[in-house]
């Protein structure tokens, strides 16, 4: 019998190569490779329309976009954030000389628990950087209330939240800024890429300058900017991806439904979900493995691995376990009991448009009977 191909936690969606050729021909003809060329302009416009946001600045990746978002709002001192994320969230602060202050998550959403934020505010606090983990919306209203009371900025790390809506409104419209990632592993990818979403033209201009070394024109530099520009190849690919995104999201939704049906009622295996009134993007499929399950979380991870199914423990270890954060007082496990449990229990199962129904059923069967 033919051996099954390995299955990874995700696989990038790629449209037919032939559809990309005309874009490449255009780039080869006009010789504009970067620095805000025509595809870059078109993709910014197209994404604003698709996502339902006012202003969007493209970046070469999500991490540079996070770093620039902090610069754009002149954030200093301390920023309250979550330990339950990809390490880029808090790395963006260290690169800006900012001290991250970690607070615990709400186990229902894996996102910052607003009830924990207030106690962590000090005179040095200038902002909150929550993450819409797995694309599950943060409690945006409660977070905004705290921000308003204490005059803090809110920058959402929305790397997982492409296309997510709450009550029909884009999740990206909350807070002062939101940051997307278009990395290969994301729902919408441009190979590498990212974006900052902002609400007014003045901020957009500042962000555009910051991502281009601070240049205003040929001879004027107004800020110590960086090179964060998205290239024309990436932007062209994004335009093509956008034509396929609805189909890709539908397929993700079908897989999500199949998993939910197939994994229901297994002792010790919980399937969390986004709050009602959320239009999800099905970017990840986290499950929680409790003590009543037949194996430990790592036992299931290994059992799947033996079958060449590479689920991932997003997010284990917690950011606060890494050496550059470990010694911060807020990084102590006693301060983060819910995040600590989530990091020990979560396993993200494979989900991506090209995952076949047969493979989904095979993964379900293995989760049902792992030994
Ligand atoms: N904030 C948050 C909350 C984030 O999750 C991320 C990124 C960021 C900020 C930063 O955004 P970027 O600067 O990346 O735009 C992956 C991604 O590299 C990372 O982008 C992502 N979060 C994170 C959650 O996941 P790894 O270390 O798990 O990647 P890797 O290479 O192990 O990929 C996972 C699987 O995907 C592989 O086993 C196979 C498959 N894969 C991967 C790549 C890169 C492919 O099939 N093709 C590919 O090209 O971090």
Q: Give residue-wise pLDDT tens across range 132-167.
A: 999 999 999 999 999 999 999 999 999 999 999 999
Tokens 């628990």 sit at which residue?
113
Look at residue 371 in the predicted model and tell me its pLDDT: 72
Residue 325 has pLDDT above 70, yes or no: yes
Look at residue 275 in the predicted model and tell me its pLDDT: 87
For the beta carbon of residue 142, count every other beta carbon within 10 angstroms.
15
For the CA of 11, the closest atom of ligand 1 is 46
Q: 285-289 and 78-81: which strand pairing?
A: unpaired
Determine the 3-state secondary structure of 348 from DSSP.
strand
**CA distance readout (Å), 250 to 84, 190, 257, 280, 283:** 28, 19, 11, 10, 11
Q: pLDDT tens across 115-127, in order?
A: 999 999 999 999 9
Look at residue 356 in the predicted model and tell me its pLDDT: 98
Q: Is the four-CA dihedral 192, 182, 235, 128 of positive or negative sign? A: negative
Look at residue 3 in the predicted model and tell me its pLDDT: 72
Distance from Cα 192 to the centre of ligand 1, integer Å: 10
Confidence tier at 22 by pLDDT (50, 70, 90):
very high
Q: pLDDT tens across 347-365, in order?
A: 999 999 999 999 999 999 9
Domains within the chain, CATH numbers bracketed: 17-240 (3.40.640.10), 245-368 (3.90.1150.10)
Distance from Cα 149 to the centre of ligand 1, integer Å: 36
Distance from Cα 142 to the centre of ligand 1, integer Å: 30
In the chain the beta strands, taken as DSSP E runs, fall at 7-8, 55-59, 78-81, 99-102, 105-106, 111-112, 125-129, 153-157, 165-166, 169-170, 177-181, 194-198, 215-217, 220-221, 269-270, 278-279, 285-289, 309-310, 346-349
DSSP 312: B
Do the Cβ atoms of 121 and 79 come closer than 8 Å? no
Determine the 3-state secondary structure of 147 from DSSP.
helix
Confidence tier at 1 by pLDDT (50, 70, 90):
low
Determine the 3-state secondary structure of 333 from DSSP.
helix
Pocket test for ligand 1, best of 183, 317, 322 (most atoms within 8 A of CB): 183
Confidence tier at 255 by pLDDT (50, 70, 90):
very high
For the beta carbon of residue 214, count every other beta carbon within 10 angstroms.
16
Do the Cβ atoms of 183 and 154 come closer than 8 Å? no
Distance from Cα 184 to the centre of ligand 1, integer Å: 7
Pocket test for ligand 1, best of 13, 65, 86 (most atoms within 8 A of CB): 86
Distance from Cα 60 to the centre of ligand 1, integer Å: 14
Residue 20 has pLDDT above 70, yes or no: yes
């Amino acid at each position: 019998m033919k051996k099954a191909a390995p299955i990874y936690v995700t696989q990038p969606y790629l449209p037919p190569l032939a559809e990309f050729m005309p874009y490449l021909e255009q780039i080869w003809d006009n010789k504009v490779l970067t620095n805000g060329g025509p595809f870059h302009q078109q993709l910014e416009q197209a994404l604003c329309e698709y996502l339902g946001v006012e202003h969007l600045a493209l970046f070469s990746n999500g991490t540079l976009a996070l770093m620039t978002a902090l610069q754009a709002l002149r954030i200093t001192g301390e920023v309250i954030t979550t330990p339950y994320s990809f390490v880029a969230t808090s790395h963006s602060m260290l690169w800006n000389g900012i001290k991250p202050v970690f607070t615990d998550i709400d186990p229902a959403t894996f996102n910052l628990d607003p009830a924990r934020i207030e106690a962590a505010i000090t005179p040095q606090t200038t902002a909150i950087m929550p993450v819409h983990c797995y694309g599950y919306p943060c409690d945006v209203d409660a977070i905004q209330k705290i921000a308003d009371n204490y005059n803090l900025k809110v920058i959402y790390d929305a790397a997982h939240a492409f296309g997510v809506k709450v009550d029909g409104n884009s999740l990206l419209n909350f807070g002062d800024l939101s940051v997307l990632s278009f990395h290969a592993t994301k729902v919408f990818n441009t190979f590498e890429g990212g974006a900052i979403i902002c609400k007014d033209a003045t901020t957009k201009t500042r962000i555009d300058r910051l991502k281009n070394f601070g240049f205003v024109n040929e001879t004027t530099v107004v800020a110590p900017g960086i090179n964060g520009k998205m290239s024309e190849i990436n932007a062209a690919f994004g335009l093509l991806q956008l034509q396929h995104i609805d189909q890709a999201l539908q397929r993700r939704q079908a897989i999500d439904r199949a998993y939910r049906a197939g994994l229901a009622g297994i002792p010790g295996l919980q399937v969390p979900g986004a709050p009602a009134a959320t239009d999800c993007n099905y970017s990840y499929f986290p499950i929680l493995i409790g003590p009543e399950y037949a194996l430990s979380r790592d036992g299931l991870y290994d059992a799947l691995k033996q079958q060449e199914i590479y689920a991932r423990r997003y997010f284990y270890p917690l950011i606060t376990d890494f050496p550059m954060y470990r010694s911060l007082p807020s990084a102590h496990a006693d301060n983060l009991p819910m995040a600590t449990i989530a990091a020990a229990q979560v396993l993200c199962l494979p989900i991506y448009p090209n995952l076949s129904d047969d493979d989904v059923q095979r993964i379900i069967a293995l989760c049902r009977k792992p030994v």
